[in-house]
Chain A
Amino acid sequence: MSQNVKVVQRASSSVRDKLYLPAIYDGMKITFKHFFKNLSDINAVDVLRYPEEQPQDITDRYRGLHRLTHRPDDSIACVACFMCATACPSNCMFIEAQEREDGHDEKMPKSFSIDTLECIFCGYCVEACPCDAIRMDTGIFSLTGNKREDFVLDKEQLLANKGAFGEVCSCARD
């Protein structure tokens, strides 16, 4: 057994490594290189200057802010089946149903609001919806407001959000 023992030299056993100061010098070289390179041309630093420069690389799978889709004739696609609210793990969707008058279906939401402060943007509502009525394809990634009420999106706001990636209408039955 003892013949098979392989003695591996430690990587940092040379005098240069044991002195530490040369290693500090090597590290300082890298630090200084980055520092002076960036100091000489600050605009070349590869960062996104956010409020002025908006991200251009949002994919269509990105889960942005929610929206409610329309049917081809501009009526609301939602039939107030409560599937999304049932699937929602954080219970942030508040739906009130009413009878539908426009002849498409039996029900439609009277009010439909999402508390985005509670929402965890998991996308379960989108998965659960049988009519393709709620989507998160707006591409809106920043949500700001001055008071808590600003973050509760109601039906009108959700309907006003536009899809960012082509598909405008609900692809469910009309």
Chain B
Amino acid sequence: MSTASIIVAISSFALGTLLALMTIPVLVWLERRTAGLVQDRLGPNRTNIFGFRLGGVVQSFADVVKLVLKEEYYPSHIKSGKWLFMLAPIITFVAALLAFMVIPFADTLIIGDEHLRVQPLPIDFGVFWYLAVSSIGVIGVIFGGWLSHNKYSLLGAARAASMVVSYELPLGLSILAFIITYDTVDFNAMVTSQSELLFGFLPAWGIFMQPIASIILIITLFAETNRNPFTVAEGESEIVAGFMTEYSAMKFAMYFMAEYIAMNTASAVIITMIFGGYQLPYISTQMMLDNFTTLAICVMIAAPIVVTLFIKWMQKNNRVRPGMAQDKGREFETKFFTIAFIVMTIAIEFILLYLAFFSENLLAQSIYVTVIQIATFVVKLMIFNMFFILIRWTLPRFRYDQVQKLGWYYLLPLALLNIFVTALVVVGVSL
């Protein structure tokens, strides 16, 4: 173990934890704001710290403070298994968190003759890890529903469990199709093989190579995360809040956060498997390293444009309505962030200028490529999280029998057929 490998391991673990945990407040806020904008209203945007609203992200932290300070309440009818009652949300939370840890954020970093994975858990059987660990999450749901000693909760847990079991099969089969296609169980190798070209003009992303398996994967992952339209685990009209009816304060928050981490993990898996992961289309890692000067110039041109557009948008929207008298520091906030973004852009420009023209430091260049790939990954992750959120405000919930019918009658045969065709094609190609 050299120093470099330790640093890379620690920083990628920190990055993974940060991406998993810090996206919770952002996603909660994003979900509420997006819901607002889709429904022609605003959503939370008032909370601020010293006038800094950040568009309302602070609201999530206020919620956290509220949930932490709330009374830990145990229903008095729970006589035995109290510790398991408390453990249940933790199981769900930890499973969702650990499943995220095998996602590669960037290509293998080569320092000297060492190949270092930018992956919180540097293992090369990531798909199996994901399938194994993410399924554990439902155990927390079952425990929660069962130990609540409440018929609604038990029903909610039973529904969630049976739905997850039914959708686990098409999920596994569609992932199997990808494993056959990419010939690997390593997430990183999957991404690398997606950097090639299909028919000479399409990026060889999973969505183009395996369209049916991709759709099945997206649908089943929606079901696995218990999100709309597959919210059979909870239902206001039939079973109150489902398995989390008896949970309060931080225990509830654990389930709540687990749902968001699971959504984040599902987005990460989807983009890693079918949308090229951290890769930009048409550009492989080796190409980036070989043409670093061109890449640097492209980023140097693109960064100011993006930042200018963002600042324009912020100056237009982060202000009170013209008719309103009070401003309450919004103008100051806009000014502060404008200057901060400009300073940041200038710093990036100078670093790139130095790296591209005055330094031949290959290590710094490959680290910079890694950073670009991480940024690509984060942008794609957020776009797909937005897709998850927007689907929620587009589709109505499925009835429970519709959920099961979709899973067993349509998705499972389709996945089996797809895997059959895939196997035939792969065998045919290799012959």
A52–B38 CB distance below 8 A: no
Complex CA distance for A121 and B38, rounded to whole angstroms: 35
A43→B38 CA distance, assembly (Å): 14
Q: Give the residues from 22 to 47 in chain A that come closer than 8 angstroms, CB to CB, to chain B.
A: 24, 27-28, 30-32, 34-35, 38-43, 45-47
Q: How would residues 133 to 145 of chain B score, 1 for a CB under 8 Å from any chain A CB and 0 otherwise?
A: 0000000000000
Question: By the criterion CB–CB under 8 Å, are B394 and A35 in contact?
Answer: no
- From 356 to 402 in chain B, residues with beta carbon under 8 angstroms from any chain A beta carbon are 390-391, 393-395
A27-B395, A42-B317, A43-B319 given as contacts; is B41 within 8 A of A53 (CB)?
no
User: Once the chains are docked, how many angstroms separate the CA of A15 from the CA of B386?
Assistant: 29
Q: How far is the CA of A43 from the CA of B390 in the complex (A)?
A: 21
**Given A24-B395, A32-B390, A47:B41 Cβ within 8 A:** yes
Contact A52 B326 (CB under 8 A): yes
Interface string of B293-317 (1 = CB under 8 A from A): 0000000000000000000010011
- Nearest CB in chain B to that of A28: its residue: B394
Given A21-B215, A43-B317, A52-B325, CB of A34 within 8 Å of CB of B395: no
Q: Secondary structure of the A side of the interface?
A: helix
Q: Are A45 and B37 in contact (CB under 8 A)?
A: yes
Can you name 18 A-B residue pairings with CB atoms under 8 Å?
A21-B215, A24-B395, A27-B394, A27-B395, A28-B390, A30-B394, A31-B38, A34-B37, A34-B38, A34-B40, A35-B38, A41-B317, A42-B42, A43-B319, A43-B320, A47-B41, A52-B326, A53-B321
Residues of A in contact with B (beta carbons under 8 Å apart) = 21, 24, 27-28, 30-32, 34-35, 38-43, 45-47, 49, 52-53
Residue among B37, B313, B324, B393 with the most chain A CB within 10 A? Answer: B37
Chain B residues packing against A (C-beta within 8 Å): 34, 37-42, 215, 313, 316-317, 319-326, 390-391, 393-395
Q: Which of B41, B42, B320, B394 contacts A31 (CB 8 A)?
A: B394
With both beta carbons as reference points, the residue of chain A lying nearest to B37 in the complex is identified as A38
- Do A35 and B390 touch across chains, with their CB atoms under 8 A apart? yes
- The total number of A-B Cβ pairs within 8 Å is 57
Contacts A28-B390, A31-B394, A42-B42 known; list 4 others, CB within 8 Å.
Answer: A42-B317, A43-B322, A47-B41, A49-B324
* Cross-chain contact A34 with B39 (CB below 8 angstroms): yes
Minimum CB–CB distance for A47 against chain B, Å: 5
Q: Which of A45, A47, A52 contacts B320 (CB 8 A)?
A: A52
Cα A124 to Cα B64 in complex, Å, equals: 44
Q: How far is the CB of A43 from chain B (nearest CB, A)?
A: 5
Q: Which residue in B34, B41, B316, B325 is a CB contact (below 8 Å) of A35?
A: B34
Report B-chain residues with C-beta under 8 Å of the C-beta of A34.
37-40
Q: Which residue of B lies closest to A33 (CB)?
A: B38
Given the complex, which residues of B lie within 8 Å of A43, measured CB to CB?
317, 319-322
Residue of B with least CB distance to A32: B390
**Interface pair B323/A45, CB less than 8 Å apart:** no
If the complex has contacts A21-B215, A31-B390, A41-B316, are A49 and B38 also in contact, measured as CB distance less than 8 A? no
3 interchain residue pairs of minimum CB distance: A27-B394, A38-B37, A42-B317
A24 to B219, CA, bound (A): 12
User: Please, which residues of chain A bring their CB within 8 A of the CB of B322?
Assistant: 43
Given contacts A24-B395, A35-B390, contact A49 B40 (CB under 8 A): no
Name the residue among A28, A31, A53 with the largest chain B CB count within 10 angstroms: A31
A35→B383 CA distance, assembly (Å): 14
Given contacts A32-B390, A53-B323, contact A45 B41 (CB under 8 A): yes
